[in-house]
Each structure stands twice: as C-alpha cells, then as structure tokens.
Structure 1
Amino acid sequence: MLWPLAAVQQGVDLVNRQLLASQCRLLRDYLNELNTGSRIPHDVERQVLQIQGRDAELLSLKASSSQRYLLYLHGGGFALGSLDTHRELAIAFARHADARVLVLDYRLAPDHPWPSGLDDALAAYEWLSEQGVDPRRLAVAGDSAGGGLAVSLLQKLKHLSQRQPAAAVLLSPWVDLTCSSPSMDLNSATDPLLNKVQMKAFAELYAGRQPLDSQEISPLFGDLQDLSPLLVQVSLQEVLLDDARRLVKGVQLSGGLAEINELAWMPHVWQLLYRYLPQAAASVRQASRFIKKYTQD
C-alpha cells in the first residue's frame, strides 16, 4: 500500500516533535540537577511562595528597606530553565537594583504550550498587585524567551487595561519566533549557543497550534504602543541581535521609550556569568541603574 506523501511527512513530523519533546524534558532535568541547591548569600533573604499553583521565590537583601520590586522571567526557549538556573542572576539584580526580586517557575513547553507561561506571568504580576505593590515601584525583566514573555506580558496588561510596570529590562530577547531576523543567518557562525534550526523547533513546541507569526506567539508583531520604558541588552555576535534591534526600533517608531546596549563578542545572555565575567557584572549594573531610574523606591 502506498501512503500519500503528505501523510508520511506528518508522521515524520510527529515523531520528530515527540523526540524533541523527550529531549527537552531530559535536558531540563539535567540543568535543574546541576543548579539544585545553589548557595544563598548570608545577606540575602529567600521567601518561598506558591502563586496559582506555581513555585516562586522572593529574593531581597536583609538589610534593605526598599519597596522596589522586580518580576523576573527566566529564559530557556520556553521549554527549559527554572528558579535554580537563574537564582544567582536574580540575586545580582536584588543587590544592584536594591529590589525585591520575584522569580517564577512558569509552566513550560512541550507539556504546557502557549498560553500557559503567559498566564502564569500575568498571575504573578497580579499577585504582586494584590500584595499592594504599586506599578510605579515595579519593573519586569527577562532573558531570551523570558524577555519575549515579558513583552507579551506588557501587551497583555495593555489589552486588559491594567497599569504597566514602571520599566522593563530585556536581555537578548526572543520576540520573533518565525526566526526570520537577518541575524539568525548572518550570525550563525559567531553564536556558540543558539542556531536557527534549534530555535524553530523550540518555537513550534511553544506555539502549539498557533501560527508562529501571530502576535500572541511573536510579540514583535503585536502592539508596541504605550509600553513601559525598555532597556534591551544584546550581543553583536548572537543570532538574536536583530530581534533586539527590530523590537527597539518598533517601540521607538510607535512613540515609546526604548534603549539598546550592544556588546561585542559576548555569548547569549552573558549576564548569567555575573560572578565570572566583568562585562556581565557591568551589564547587570547598567540594567539595575535603568530600573532604579524609572521605579520609585
């Protein structure tokens, strides 16, 4: 019996998707195991929370009386990452921005595709509001996929007529999940961590049945008017360079405030190397100054 070519291709795609999903789960477990039990400095207070059934933690300096807050959304291609993998970076922001940093273990693909992660991010934002946190004292930040999720959160808040946070910091944000930015190809030889094939696979796991070019999946194609002031940091050598540039240009053309800081020869989300790389520490300090500039204490 001869099977139609389209049916054969669908079968191959399904097998490939299931294999990738299995690999994602294994890699996620491995990364979490590597980072489990990361050290909490003696001067940092860690409050373990549950927000709408999701694990979260609030990190702050014990000696600080600041009422500034930062909601941090970790990266990992919408399928990887956890509280453990990004705790040290969150603590660095707590220290330099003098902020109480809420980190959320939002639901991940492939088990929980869009809109699960966005719903969790919105729940965390609304939880902060319920605790009495004034948006003027609140910033949102995220790296890579978490940066894209942060932009989606701003757009969702606008759609719901809720107040925007005072500022947003995006580290190498992934905002075009069609992977059509020119740097996806132009920087393929200089980015040691990411590549277009890998990212399209992650994008499809996250999107589920939604088109990759929809504004729900790719916030670059959504409404960029009236968003919080943005600071974007990106490496000149990474494949997401033009995602960052296109986002900043789009916000600026829409009348918004957006700044971009481009560094040479840095790996994707180099800020995670805060304790080991001087450029990473400098970038965290710059982002923290931006947060402090636009938020009330």
Structure 2
Amino acid sequence: MTSLPRRQSLLLRIARIVLRTRGVKRALSSPGLAEIDRLRNVAAGPAQPRARVARAFEIERIDDGGLAVFRMAPRSGATRNTLVYLPGGGYINPMVAEHWDLIAALVTRTGATVYVPQYALAPAGTADTEIPRIARFLAKLATDIPDPARLWLAGDSAGGGLATAAAIHLRQIGGPALQHLVLFSPWLDVELANPAIRAFARRDPSLAVPGLRYAGKLWAGDRATSSPLVSPVHADLSLLPPTTLVIGTSDIFLPDSRKFAAMAREAGADIEFIEVNGGFHVFVGAPFIPESRATLDLIAAQLTG
C-alpha cells in the first residue's frame, strides 16, 4: 500500500490558506448567513463537471424512479466495480466542481462505474425521506450491475453521514451487502456536542458550528437531532460493512470521527481509520495535493486488492 506523507506538503499548507479566503466559514458563522448561502447555491444548482473531466469520462444523467442520478464511467478500461457516491454540502447545498474532481480520481484509480444520486436537500429532503430512498436505490442497483459483490458506497461530509446511515439502514432491512464503505471527513453527529470540537473549530479553515447546527436541524426534520438516522454516531455500529474513514487534523469533524472509529471497533466492526496530518475538510477533493493523491492511492488499493 501507498505510504502517506509524514510532513505537510507546501501545497497542503497553501490550500488551507486559500480556503480561509473563500468565505465558506463566514457563511456558516450564523444560521442567517447559512440560509442566505443555501438559497443562492440551490438557485445555482449542482455544479457541472469541468471540461477536462467531461472529456475524459462518459457522463450521463439518468432518472431512477424520480431520483436524478449522474452516471460516470471510464471511456475505456472499465472494471466490474461499482461505486455509489453521495456528495456533501451540509445537507443543504448541491454538489460542487471539486466533487467531480474527486469522483474522477476514484474512477481513474479503480476503473469503477460511479453513480451519484442527487438526493433531495433539506429542508425539502430529510433523513426520513432520503435515507430509505438511497437504500432502495442501492438495493435496485445491486440487481442491475455486473457483479453485486463489487458494490461500494462512499460519501464526503454530509454525504458521508448519509452514506453511513444508509449502509446501516440497508443492513437493517435485509438489503444487499456492501463490499466497502468509504467515508471522507464524514459528518456523523449533527449536534456537534463533542466538547473537543471547540479547539478544532478554530483550526478548520472552512467550517463553523452555528451554520452546521442549523443545517443539521433542517435535515433532522421531525426527528431529534440525536436520532441514529440523523446522527449515525448513535447507531448500531456493529451493522457497518467493512469501512475506511479518512479525515485530516484540521477538520472540525475529527473529534467525532475518532469517537466513531473507536465505538465501531468496540462493536466489532471492520474499520480502518486514516488521519492525515494537516488535512482540511475533504482535502481529497483537491487531488493535486500530495497527501490527497497518496490517500486516494491507498483507498483504491484497498478496494481493488
């Protein structure tokens, strides 16, 4: 397997500085600003893949019983691997161009065909509506793909929280087994009640607690924010499929990810926890950074080995 760099690269340090200038942290600094940002982003819609990504891969939009899904596959050299990817965005914002870059990096390394469901965003979509919908999609997809034993599920940030909840729900309803679950900087507790988060909130260049808690309440809908369906850190973690969790040390979600990994091991789950020095929130979405390349190489080796 690929070894992760021990020392922070110059590109990683520069990227953290640039992130602080992009205004995301300010937009999450209060519920009001988070709502203004949500309305603007929803009006703009999900980002299209960059031209170089669109040229390099086959990309189509399909409809699966009212669920819009992007399908992305290699133009040549496709394998029997299938990945369902759930993009983050705090449950309230559509996917961004960096999601396409990350998905392209995964396709390049694994030869997988990737399906990207456009789940309904809060407040229109909630944990109650979208987790069963994703579970149904996974169950149906398992009957359609060449090799159901090579079905993976992945997600980042809120998409990682959704992927975790959906994987556990799928197991609870007797759905098909997932070969692997990959979580990039997952949002596992929308309450953000862990007292250790305060120190990481200052360190994180892009996330802030007030706006996140606001978005988490919208996603919870009529449920308590502590519900396992909303905050899977409270779920029965013995039901996890084999899981890899990746997070950086400059990420507000690190304390809950550490807690989740420890609890999953105690529950008997097969989980690998990868903590990257200096990594910011979903740093793998910038595949040009050495730490991101090394991490993606490692995960691809796990999945295809």
Fold shared by both chains (TM-score > 0.5)? yes
- TM-score grouping bracket, smaller chain normalisation: 0.7 to 0.9
Contact 1:172-1:234 at 8 Å conserved across structures: yes
Change (3 A) 1:187 1:18: closer
Query: Counterpart of 1:224?
Result: 237
Query: Counterpart of 1:290?
Result: 302
Deviation sequence 1:177-219 (CA, Å, 0-9, x none): 1111233212121101111112111111111121111111111
**Residue 158 (structure 1) aligned to one of 171, 176, 197:** 171
Query: Counterpart of 1:277?
Result: 289
For structure 2, which runs of at least 5 residues remain unmatched after alignment?
A: 1-29
Q: TM-score, normalised by structure 1?
A: 0.86
Q: Aligned to 1:115, what secondary structure does the other structure show?
A: helix
Contact 2:98-2:285 at 8 Å conserved across structures: no
Q: CA deviation at 1:17?
A: 6.9
Q: CA deviation at 1:20?
A: 4.9
For structure 1, which runs of at least 5 residues remain unmatched after alignment?
A: 1-15
Map of 1:1-297 to 2, 5 A cutoff? 20-30=34-44, 32=46, 35-36=47-48, 38-39=50-51, 40-82=53-95, 86-274=99-287, 276-293=288-305
Contact 1:165-1:228 at 8 Å conserved across structures: yes
Q: CA deviation at 1:224?
A: 0.6
Higher relative contact order (CA 8 A, sep 6+): 2
Change (3 A) 1:61 1:19: closer
Contact 1:51-1:123 at 8 Å conserved across structures: no
Change (3 A) 1:185 1:51: same
Contact 2:205-2:250 at 8 Å conserved across structures: no
Contact 1:129-1:135 at 8 Å conserved across structures: yes
Change (3 A) 1:208 1:20: farther
Number of aligned residue pairs: give it: 275
Distance across 1 between alignment mates of 2:195 and 2:129: 29
Change (3 A) 1:38 1:280: same
Distance across 2 between alignment mates of 1:219 and 1:256: 14
Query: Counterpart of 2:22?
Result: none
Change (3 A) 1:264 1:85: closer
Distance across 2 between alignment mates of 1:38 and 1:120: 28
Deviates more, 1:79-88 or 1:198-207: 79-88
Q: CA deviation at 1:173?
A: 0.7
Distance across 1 between alignment mates of 2:40 and 2:160: 24
Distance across 2 between alignment mates of 1:209 and 1:76: 21
Change (3 A) 1:19 1:185: closer
Query: Counterpart of 1:13?
Result: none
Change (3 A) 1:260 1:37: closer
Q: Which structure has the greater CA radius of gyration?
A: 1
Q: Aligned to 2:297, what secondary structure does the other structure show?
A: helix
Letter in 2 for 1:164: A
Q: Aligned to 2:261, what secondary structure does the other structure show?
A: helix
Distance across 1 between alignment mates of 2:232 and 2:248: 20
Contact 1:177-1:200 at 8 Å conserved across structures: yes
